[in-house]
Amino acid sequence: VVAADFSNGMLEEGRRRHPEIEFVFADATALPFQEAEFDTVTISFGLRNVENTELALTEMLRVLKPGGKLVVCEFSAIPNKFLHSLYRLYLKNLLPRISALVSKTPEAYSYLAESIDAWPKQAELAKLIEKVGYQSVGFRNQTLGIVAIHTGYKPQKAN
């Protein structure tokens, strides 16, 4: 297991909690790993923060072994319009007020709401994952669609 992150603070916390795991500073758009090095690549609540999503997905494909699996866990869009409206109300109005009371960095929660709004819907992200070369791409909604888990596989052989 290798954990990679672009934040030294996250890496330090990870090392403190899990000294048995290798932690590497890495930019998702230029991963410091060999081609076809990993059986599985996962990213949780991070792809939304990468400046060039397509390039990051391409890099993850590069470091996967043929037949290897990509797993992306990320905030998403609630398909139910009524629940989606309630969730947006929470993100835009309630969460900033709560974070102002309990957080040292309430602006991070404003960014969270903005980045979730700007993020592609489930089907759009699935199309992008396919576009860069993954096969058998799919997604599964979690928590009513607030989060979605996307998966895809590197082809066994080059096309």
Residue where a domain terminates, one of 118, 135, 150 = 118
Q: Average pLDDT, whole number, for the chain? A: 95
Residues 127 and 62 in one domain: yes
In a shared domain, residues 12 and 69? yes
The pair of three-digit structure tokens given for residue 128, joined into one six-digit string:
């992008």
With cut-offs at 50, 70 and 90, classify the pLDDT of residue 71: very high
Judgement on whether residues 114 and 127 belong to the same structural domain of the protein: no
Strands 147-153 and 135-142: antiparallel
Same domain membership, residue 107 and residue 72: no
Residues 7 and 58 in one domain: yes
**Number of folded domains that form the chain:** 2
Residue-level pLDDT at 110: 85
| The two structure tokens encoding residue 85 | 């409206």
HSE-CB for 59 with a 13 A CA cutoff: 17
**Which residues form the domain of 56?**
1-77+120-159
Average pLDDT over residues 110-134: 95
- Model-level pTM? 0.91
Q: What is the pLDDT of residue 109?
A: 82
